[in-house]
Structure 1
C-alpha cells in the first residue's frame, strides 16, 4: 500500500474518518497541532497495528558491508522490521485502513531527513478509506524481512549503533529491556528511543 503521485497516506484502524483536523498527539514532542501522513518511502513504517512497537532498519548509501551482514543477515534484502511475539497475532488480525490525502496540503516534517509530512489546516480525504489487507503479505510482497523476537531491545541497540537507516515506533509499548544474564533484574526504559546519545539516521529506503 503506497500513495499514488500527488498523494500521501494516513493509516488508521478507524474507517469512519471524513475529515482530518490538526491536533497535538498525546506522544508528541512538539506543541504545534498537525495532521500527520507519510509518503511512499515511509509508508511501510505503518504497516502495523497502531500500538505495535516496532524497530526498523534499512540500507542507506553509507551502510557498511559488515553492518549489512550483522543486521540484515544473508539474503535479508534491503530492509528489516522487527516486532515482538506478543504482537504477532494482532499483526495477523488487525484490520488497517489507508486514507489517501492530497500531498499539496502537506510539508515535510523531521530533521535532517523528514520522517513524515504534516498539514496545519483540516484535510478532507480524496476518497473513502481503503482496506490495507494482510499485513504479513504486504511485507512479503514489498520484499521486507519481518523478524519476530521475544524482546526488541537487543536488536534495537545493534541497529542504532550501525550505519543503517533506522526508525523505532511505539517502543514505549515494548517489553522492558533486560541486562545480560538470566539472573539480572529488569531495567526500565521510560524513554526508550533516547536511551543512548546517538544521531538517528532516518533516511528512507528507495521507493
Structure 2
C-alpha cells in the first residue's frame, strides 16, 4: 500500500502529529491518503470542492441528476473563482512509509499515524487538471457549490466528499 500527503510546501522534512482544526476531539496525528483516493488532493489546499462517485444504490433519477450524459464514474466540482489558482499551482506529493499508519476512513482513503513521519520521497505535480482528466475524472466548475452540496445531502449518493467547504462562496 502506498500512502501520500499533499502540500503546497516543497521542503517538508518530517511530518509531526498535530490536532486538525476540524477534528479537535482527536489526538495529534499525521494524515495520509491512499493511492486510490489521492486525486482528491490535486488542488490547492484551501480549494473548496465536491467529489462524488457513481456507486451502488444510486437511483436512476440521481444518476441522471449528478452524472447526466457523462461516462465518467467520478466527478469533481469546484467553484469557478479557483480556476486560475488550480491551473498555476504546483502541488507536492510526499510518499510516506505505511508501517505506522492505521485506516481511519475507508471510503475516503484516509489513514492516520501518531508518530512523527519522515517522507520517503517528494514529487512535484503540475497542471492538476490534466492529471485528473488523464484518470477519466470529470472536472466541473460552478459559481457556487451550495446548491450541489444540498442536492447531494438529500440524494441517494453514498460515495462523496465535501472538501474545504468553509472556503466556499457565500450562498
TM-score range for the pair, normalised by the shorter chain length:
over 0.9
Judged with a 3 Å threshold, the aligned counterparts in structure 2 of structure 1 residues 56 and 44 are, in CA distance, closer, same or farther, namely same
Cα offset for 1:26?
2.4
| Mapped contact 2:92–2:125 kept (Cα < 8 A) | yes
Report the alpha carbon displacement of residue 56 of structure 1 after superposing the two structures with TM. Answer: 1.2
Specify which structure has the higher proportion of strand. 2
Aligned Cα RMSD in Å? 1.5
Q: Greater relative contact order: 1 or 2 (C-alpha under 8 angstroms, separation 6 or more)?
A: 2
8 Å Cα contact 1:56/1:82 also seen in 2 = yes
1:103 is matched with which residue?
98
Instruction: Indicate the residue corresponding to 2:44 in structure 1.
Output: 49
Q: Does 1:10 align with 2:13?
A: no
| Structure 2 residue 43 is matched with structure 1 residue 19 | no
Q: What does 1:114-153 correspond to in 2, within 5 Å? A: 115-127=109-121, 129-153=122-146
Cα shift at 1:64: 2.3
Task: For structure 2, list consecutive stretches of 5 or more residues without a partner in the other structure.
Answer: none
Q: Count residues with an aligned counterpart.
A: 170
CA shift at 1:132, angstroms? 1.4
Equivalence map 1:49-198=2 (5 Å): 49-110=44-105, 113=107, 115-127=109-121, 129-164=122-157, 165-177=159-171
Deviations 1:9-39 (A, max 9, x none): 1000011111111011223243310000101
TM-score (norm 2): 0.93
Which has the greater radius of gyration? 1
Aligned equivalents of 1:168, 1:30: Cα separation in 2: 20
